Amino acid sequence: MTETHPPRLAIIVPCYNEQLILPDSLSKLLGLLGLLIKEKKIRENSFLYCVDDGSQDQTWEIIFNKHRVDPRVKGLRLSRNAGHQNALLAGLLNMQDQIDCAVTIDADLQDDIHAIEEMLQHFQQGSEIVYGVRSSRKTDGFFKWLTAVAFYKLMKHSGAEIVFNHADFRLLSRRTIEQLSHFKESNLFLRGIFTLIGFKTSKVYYDRGSRALGETKYTLRKMISLAWEGLTSFSQAPLEFILISGALSFFVSLGLAIWVLSAKIFAHPVSGWASIMVPICFIGGIQLLSIGVIGEYLAKIYLEVKNRPRYIKDTELH
Ligand code: UDP
Ligand code: MG
């Protein structure tokens, strides 16, 4: 599909307690929007779409006031904090009928907004999904770097396909967003879904800066929960791991049993403590771990079966 006319673009910005950085980010994005319109890369009615993910600070007021002076800023307020992934989904699904393509970008603009122009070029050349990929992880702290690399490796070895060093900075065509709407899962891990959708895709490389103002909304807890979401939504590897460790512990205990028996038969004194405690702890540990992992999958099924709404809209600014 090659578009000849400039597309109508929505830049979708999830915002959670971003009062410190949002005014600056909005003016930078509006500047970019103006430039792209002037260069006829996008249609004049392209716009910013801010999704307020149930912020407790002045975020919504900032969006609202900006909308009043500049209608190119539109907004959606969710009824409560639904999480980054759901906020992105809400923005995309809510705007899908009005646009030709959308770019999602974090409110702190750590991702390079100038990559958007290149994304648009790829879109014009027929790409339906353009992934923003970080060319390096220089601006990350050691801990973030380590956890990120470990996560991508783990996902890869578990058989889930995700694009290395790509987070949620991407361009999506209208067709892709339509397809996304058919993925009804409550346990949402967007990065994994786009590789499942298919179509022509491409990558744009950029350098990611550090957050200029405010602090990260991805606490360690949210990071672990996102990684766990990604792993268990796209891979059965943890269940297979249980099977393998179960089999291993079975053979180890078999060996131990033979050892204990032969010691008894050949009348060597066995110190009972070690031979009893070691297998009890070992097998007990593995069993608890296994039940935990199975429980996680069960909880996921439980959540999916309930089929609850993934986000609830409060107010919309058109
Ligand atoms: N965010 C959100 N809901 C949340 C947490 C974060 O909408 O529950 C948004 C946040 O406002 C930002 C983006 O998700 O636009 C990424 O968050 P952040 O920059 O804090 O994450 P980091 O870059 O540190 O991974
Ligand atoms: Mg950030």
- Sign of the CA dihedral running 89, 93, 96, 99: negative
* pLDDT tens sequence across 271-292: 676 677 777 877 877 787 788 8
CB 41 within 8 A of CB 117: yes
How many CB atoms lie under 10 A from the CB of residue 226?
Answer: 17
* pLDDT tens sequence across 35-45: 999 999 999 99
* Domain at 24, CATH number: 3.90.550.10
Vertex 193: Cα angle to 189 and 199 (nearest 5):
155
- Domain count across the chain: 2
Q: Do 133 and 46 fall into the same domain?
A: yes
CB 118 within 8 A of CB 204: yes
Q: Do 292 and 313 fall into the same domain?
A: no
CA of 205 to the centre of ligand 1 (A): 21
Mean residue pLDDT of the chain comes to 86
Length of the chain: 318
**52 in contact with ligand 1, CB cutoff 6 A:** no
Query: What residues pair up with 172 in beta bridges, in sequence order?
Result: 102, 129
How many angstroms separate the Cα of 59 from the Cα of each of 89, 225, 285? 19, 25, 46
Q: pTM of the entire structure?
A: 0.76
Please name the helix (run of DSSP H) or strand (run of DSSP E) that holds residue 36, with its range, or none. helix 22-38
| pLDDT less than 70: residues of the chain | 1-4, 267-271, 273-274
Is residue 2 in a domain?
no
- Sign of the CA dihedral running 96, 98, 100, 105: negative
Domain that holds residue 169: 9-218+309-317
Q: Do 59 and 148 fall into the same domain?
A: yes
CB 166 within 8 A of CB 131: yes
**128 in contact with ligand 1, CB cutoff 6 A:** no
Mutate to test the pocket of ligand 1, among 16, 86, 147 (most ligand atoms within 8 A of CB): 16
Q: Looking at residue 141, what is its pLDDT?
A: 77
Strand order in the sheet with 101-104: 201-206, 129-134, 166-173, 101-104, 9-15, 47-52, 73-78, 313-317
Q: Do 300 and 313 fall into the same domain?
A: no
Nearest ligand, CA 105: 1
Is residue 27 in a domain?
yes
DSSP class of residue 73 equals E
CB 161 within 8 A of CB 109: no
Q: Do 249 and 211 fall into the same domain?
A: no
Q: Do 203 and 184 fall into the same domain?
A: yes
